[in-house]
Amino acid sequence: MRLVVARCQVDYAGRLSAHLPMATRVLMLKSDGSVLVHSDGGSYKPLNWMSPPCTVKEGTSEDGRPEWVVTSRGTSKGPDDTLRILIDEILHDTSHDLGVDPGLQKDGVEKHLQELLADHPATLADGLTLVRREFPTAIGPVDLMCRDSDGRSVAVEIKRRGDIDGVEQLTRYLELLNRDPLLTGKGEVKGIFAAQEIKPQARVLAEDRGITCALVDYDALRGLDDPAQRLF
């Protein structure tokens, strides 16, 4: 990972346009190919970012200042995404090899939810079947990769409590998965956000992005796997 603290201006162009005026920010270039722009406030979320796969070209602007151009291949529905980072001054520049990350260790309930839903995907949507648990992507594994009754790919993100961060996580997965022609042969990869509880703000955001929300009854799922409970 490369970590740079710099006075910079950032301009994004793609599905929309966004501009960050000149200011001191933290630039992160991760080994998975992602590029993130952080400020010293605004919680842990980046001000702007590019998800892998993307390319970074370092050059100079017309006035001779360093300029990074980050490009991510667009989909058939839109142009390439471009992030231009104009650097006025570099205050710190260092690289670190973080090694192999062991991954997120989920708590028992969330892990068990994933196992139960993998065994009973049709409880999320009629006709849904499992393709693979922990489906690998360049930015982390999707909890469940499934297929609906029409043969379309469906990515499922599972949480105990569903909030906006979980929706954002699934959105990033979908942006990446929809660039894979092996997954989009039957149409756009859809998303299901499954949780025992989904906050209203998260539901609004998910529905706005075309993501289906599914409330999960943990006790009912456990009953499906318990022969004694299936008798009642």
What residue ranges do the domains of the chain occupy?
2-95, 108-228
pTM over 0.85: no
Domain 2-95 coded CATH 3.40.50.720: no
Q: How many Cβ atoms from other residues are within 10 Å of residue 164's Cβ?
A: 15
pLDDT at 3: 95
Closest CA to 169 of 206, 129, 196: 206
- What does each C-alpha distance from 70 to 53, 94, 132, 196, 208 come to in angstroms? 10, 19, 32, 38, 27
Is beta strand 81-95 parallel, antiparallel or unpaired with respect to 2-13? antiparallel
**Mean pLDDT across the stretch 26-52?**
87
Residues 6 or more apart whose Cβ sits within 8 Å of residue 172: 51, 139
% pLDDT > 70, the chain:
89
Question: How many Cβ atoms from other residues are within 10 Å of residue 208's Cβ?
Answer: 9
Domain over 108-228 is classified CATH 3.40.1350.10: yes
- The count of other CB atoms within 10 Å of the CB of residue 88 is 13
Closest CA to 9 of 81, 49, 68, 80: 68
The pLDDT tens digits of the residues spanning 103-135 come to 655 555 788 889 999 999 999 999 999 999 999
